[in-house]
A and B are shown apart, each in its own frame.
Chain A
Amino acid sequence: MCGIVGLYLKDEALKPQLGRLLSDMLVTMSDRGPDSAGIAIYSDAPEGRAKITVQSDEADSAFGVLEHALNGRAHITRRDSHAVLEVTADDVALVRAEIEANHPAVRIMSSGETVEIYKEVGLPADVVDRFEVREMSGSHGVGHTRMATESAVTTLGAHPFSTDEDQCLVHNGSLSNHNRLRQKLRQEGVKFETENDTEVGAAYFANKMRKGASLDEALEAGITDLDGFYTFVCGTKGGFAVVRDPIACKPAVLAETDQYVAFGSEYRALVNLPGIEDARVWEPEPATVYSWGA
């Protein structure tokens, strides 16, 4: 079991409330996943700038060393065990290479123009507090509460998994052919950090899109190639997409109003949203891709 939530705002006026609304949704899903939690939140970087979110178990020392090494190239905002490095769009590759080569205690969670990913082990309410998610604003976000089945309870095993620039994936379920698929993707040069099944799903979609597939096409290809149980929410720069496996055992509820599109593993996650009483609420069909702004 795991819990997933997603919120895509149509109404600009709600943007300052994104973090608060998403936090409420996430914390409501604690019963479904009390061992770790994470969110991907999307908000624009200033023109020409990009964001790299990093994490370290030794944040006190490692972030200082990194800041020194980057020598003014990045504007660093620390949030607990994570930090967002705001850099010029041209410097992204250089900064990533520096981190990967010389800072083994620092892990890259995400990079892109809009995405920031925060995830940690612990109760969702505690994770939300540590990163002050309630204070965050943005255009859309996805979140995950984890009850681990396929791999260890670690920060890197928590969701969301970053798939590529400005993309992320959260998953409720378990994939049964992830070992073979990981092997196949490794042969194509894709790198993996964990033994986690969802990371393979994320890498699979990213790989498809790098070869030219649209998000919808990548998710549709996944219905054939990924074996197992899943409800996926895939975040992109512009919005998010939802897909369930053909058996559709893992629950999913969507709600839409003039102000937002919301996703929850259960209706419970949506009850605090403004105007939910009058929202169109439905269960997404199996093996069908739904997307908004993606």
Chain B
Amino acid sequence: MTEFDLTSATLREMNSSLQDATSGTYSIVNPRGAHAIACGLKSEIGVTIAGSTGYYCAGMNQLARVHVKGSVGPGAAENMMSGKLIVEGDASQYCGATAHGGTLVVKGNASSRCGISMKGVDIVVHGNIGHMSAFMAQSGNLLVCGDAGDALGDSLYEARLFVKGAVKSLGADCIEKEMRAEHLEIVADLLERGEVTGAKPEDFKRYGSARQLYNFNIDNVGAY
């Protein structure tokens, strides 16, 4: 285990060492809310961050497994391609934004715009999510064990949303859909990968696109 102490190492030195690493485990101490910690990693390494981070933690991640023993600021795992980010605390706005793959697990709450424009990532939130989550989400799965805020899944494409608690309101073109056997399987897998205990696949409702915004409706021509 190699340790980086951010009270002495610079952020650039640390990120560049992690980006060059091809194996092993690393520990980052005294993150003190710094931005862009563990960004752009591209190998199967393990990184543990002892504390809370600022903006863009584990952004653009490929293959690496990053574990934050605290909370993360805005844009965690933004544009993640693969690998895993686990957040023990809360995540600020737009976590998992535009992420193409991998798994994002938030053990606390995630605030607004969680999974905005997600493109294939799997996101598991143990707590609640804020307003405008999964806005224009294109593919992947968002599983929420708590409640969802206003306008969930507004202008949604083909991402699947699973919520156990209450949904304050659904966004334009987002509707509740039937949970079929294949969805129960997906949820069971997400619960396991997301380290969720105390919830069953049957507890969740599925939401998805009504697919009414995909094509231009001539009746709306007057609006333009």
Contact A266 B73, beta carbon cutoff 8 Å: yes
Q: Give the complex CA separation of A269 and B32 in angstroms.
A: 9
Contact partner, A251, options B90, B92, B130, Cβ 8 Å: B92
Contact partner, B71, options A251, A267, A268, A269, Cβ 8 Å: A267
Inter-chain contacts of A266 with B (CB < 8 A): 33, 54-55, 73
Inter-chain contacts of B54 with A (CB < 8 A): 266-268
Q: What total of chain A residues lie within 8 Å of the partner, measured CB to CB?
A: 14
Contact A248 B33, beta carbon cutoff 8 Å: no
Q: Give the complex CA separation of A286 and B55 in angstroms.
A: 19
Quote the shortest CB–CB distance from B138 to chain A (angstroms). Answer: 22
Contact A268 B34, beta carbon cutoff 8 Å: yes
Known A267-B71, A271-B33: A286·B112 in contact at CB below 8 Å: yes
Contact A248 B93, beta carbon cutoff 8 Å: yes
Q: Give the complex CA separation of A268 and B54 in angstroms.
A: 7
Closest partner residue, chain B, to A264 (CB atom) = B33
Known A251-B93, A282-B90, A283-B90: A267·B73 in contact at CB below 8 Å: yes
Inter-chain contacts of B131 with A (CB < 8 A): 248, 286
Interface positions, chain B 76-94, Cβ under 8 Å from A, are: 90, 92-93
A125 on the B face (CB < 8 A): no
B62 on the A face (CB < 8 A): no
Contact B33 A267, beta carbon cutoff 8 Å: yes
Inter-chain contacts of B90 with A (CB < 8 A): 282-283
Quote the shortest CB–CB distance from A124 to chain B (angstroms). Answer: 17
Quote the shortest CB–CB distance from A5 to chain B (angstroms). Answer: 13
A281 on the B face (CB < 8 A): yes
Quote the shortest CB–CB distance from B18 to chain A (angstroms). Answer: 20
Q: Give the complex CA separation of A269 and B33 in angstroms.
A: 8
Interface positions, chain A 243-294, Cβ under 8 Å from B, are: 248-249, 251, 253, 266-271, 281-283, 286
B117 on the A face (CB < 8 A): no
Closest partner residue, chain B, to A284 (CB atom) = B111
Quote the shortest CB–CB distance from A278 to chain B (angstroms). Answer: 12
Inter-chain contacts of A271 with B (CB < 8 A): 32-33
Q: Give the complex CA separation of A252 and B133 in angstroms.
A: 18
Inter-chain contacts of A286 with B (CB < 8 A): 112, 130-131
Quote the shortest CB–CB distance from B10 to chain A (angstroms). Answer: 15
Quote the shortest CB–CB distance from B41 to chain A (angstroms). Answer: 22
Quote the shortest CB–CB distance from A245 to chain B (angstroms). Answer: 11
Inter-chain contacts of A249 with B (CB < 8 A): 93
Q: Give the complex CA separation of A282 and B109 in angstroms.
A: 10
B74 on the A face (CB < 8 A): yes
Contact B112 A248, beta carbon cutoff 8 Å: yes
Inter-chain contacts of B112 with A (CB < 8 A): 248, 286
Q: Give the complex CA separation of A283 and B71 in angstroms.
A: 11
B52 on the A face (CB < 8 A): yes
Q: Give the complex CA separation of A266 and B52 in angstroms.
A: 11
Inter-chain contacts of A270 with B (CB < 8 A): 33
Quote the shortest CB–CB distance from A188 to chain B (angstroms). Answer: 34
Quote the shortest CB–CB distance from B22 to chain A (angstroms). Answer: 31
Which of B33, B54, B73, B131 has the most chain A CB within a 10 Å cutoff? B33
Q: Mark B106-142, 1 if CB is under 8 A from A, else 0.
A: 0000011000000000000000001100000000000
Q: Give the complex CA separation of A185 and B111 in angstroms.
A: 35
Contact A283 B111, beta carbon cutoff 8 Å: yes
Contact partner, B74, options A251, A269, A281, A282, Cβ 8 Å: A251
Quote the shortest CB–CB distance from B57 to chain A (angstroms). Answer: 11
Q: Give the complex CA separation of A266 and B32 in angstroms.
A: 11
Closest partner residue, chain B, to A272 (CB atom) = B32
Quote the shortest CB–CB distance from A284 to chain B (angstroms). Answer: 10
Inter-chain contacts of B93 with A (CB < 8 A): 248-249, 251, 283
Contact A267 B111, beta carbon cutoff 8 Å: no
Quote the shortest CB–CB distance from B167 to chain A (angstroms). Answer: 17
Q: Give the complex CA separation of A249 and B111 in angstroms.
A: 11
Interface positions, chain B 54-80, Cβ under 8 Å from A, are: 54-55, 71, 73-74
Quote the shortest CB–CB distance from B90 to chain A (angstroms). Answer: 7
Closest partner residue, chain A, to B89 (CB atom) = A281
A-B pairs, top 7 by smallest CB distance, nearest first, are A268-B33, A267-B33, A271-B32, A283-B111, A267-B52, A268-B54, A271-B33
**What are 5 A-B contacts defined by CB distance under 8 Å?**
A248-B112, A248-B130, A266-B54, A267-B71, A271-B33
Give the B-binding residues of A (Cβ under 8 A). 248-249, 251, 253, 266-271, 281-283, 286
Besides the contacts A267-B71, A270-B33, what 17 more A-B pairs have beta carbons closer than 8 Å?
A: A248-B93, A248-B111, A248-B131, A249-B93, A251-B73, A251-B74, A266-B33, A266-B73, A267-B73, A268-B34, A271-B32, A271-B33, A281-B52, A282-B90, A283-B93, A286-B130, A286-B131
